[in-house]
Amino acid sequence: MRDFSIGQFLIAATRPLRMFFVVLVVASGLAGVSAPAVAASPAEQFISDNVQRGLTILTNTALSKDQRRTQFQGFLLGLTDIKAISEYTLGQYRRGATPAQLSAYDDAFKDYALAVYQSYFNKFSGQTLNVTGSYPLASDESVVKTVMIDPKKTSANPLQVDFRVANVGGRMAVVDFSVSGVWLRETEKSDFTSFLGQNGGDIGVLTASLKKKTALYK
């Protein structure tokens, strides 16, 4: 009688089942061919170079908490066009504001945005950003698609974070970003314009509220 080990028997007996799983995996489109490498667009390179730098600042234990905050704010101011975001979030209420009101609002918004955006980016610290592509929105704007990979959690669906990059006065800047399809600038505009609608369109009230909210982050 031929020598036939239990292991060989199990391997043979489970072959149909193993083949079934292989077919399932292939059918789900995962055994795809890798696309040939394509050079990154300028916007993709901008995001790839800069965002990871920001995430690194947040995890730099050689800096004190205040130093990290200061450095990260400098990074955010270089990465984004806070003034453009500020103008956008007022919506139709910008037209009726005086220059003094707008100036006070822009200052308050800048402090608020830096505090809030830092708290959002803090959630990604320790993660790695991978640029996955981009598409144009206009001649001077594009969306760069990225995913955040958390080394502690392997997942088939890493978090999708997209950046809207615009050419502002000759330099590239982020004017919005989204997490899982939710765009921050858009959400802020809905929030602020609704608040202004509830408060008679008074930008001074919004400015005061922004200052109170910013204080919550200190």
Partner 1 sequence: MRNFWKAAAILAALGLSACATAHPDTGGSAANDPYAATNRKIFDFDLKMDGWTLKPTSAAYNRYVPEGIREAAHNVLTNFDLPVTFANDVLQAEPRRAGQTVSRFVVNSTLGVAGLFDVASDFGIPAHTEDFGQTLAVWGVGEGPYLVLPLLGPYPPRDAVGAVVDFLFDPMLYIRMKQHPWWVLGHRYIKLIDVRARNIETLDDIERSSMDYYATTRSLYRQYRAGEIGNGETAPPAP
Residues that bind partner 1 (CB under 8 A): 21, 24-25, 27-30, 88, 116, 119-120, 135, 137, 143, 154-157, 160, 162, 164, 176, 178, 180-183, 186-187, 189-195, 198, 206, 209-210, 213, 216
State the minimum distance, in angstroms, from the CB of residue 2 to partner 1. 32
Between 10 and 53, whose beta carbon lies closer to partner 1? 10
Strands (E), the chain: 128-138, 141-149, 159-168, 171-179, 182-183
- Pick between residue 63 and residue 159 the one whose CB is nearest to partner 1: 159
One-character DSSP codes across 86-113: HHHHHGGGGTT--HHHHHHHHHHHHHHH
Q: Looking at residue 218, what DSSP letter applies?
A: -
CB of 207 to partner 1, least distance (A): 11
> Please, what is the minimum distance in Å from the beta carbon of residue 183 to partner 1?
5
Pairwise CA distance, residues 187 & 180, whole Å: 13
Of the chain, the end-to-end C-alpha distance in Å amounts to 80
Nearer to partner 1, 64 or 155 (CB): 155
Task: Identify which of residues 9 and 21 has a Cβ nearer to partner 1 in the complex.
Answer: 21
**Closest distance between partner 1 and the C-beta of residue 169, in Å?**
18
Cβ of residue 191: shortest distance to partner 1, in angstroms? 5
Cα-based angle 40, 149, 54 (whole degrees, multiple of 5): 70
Encoded tokens for 103: 């100036």
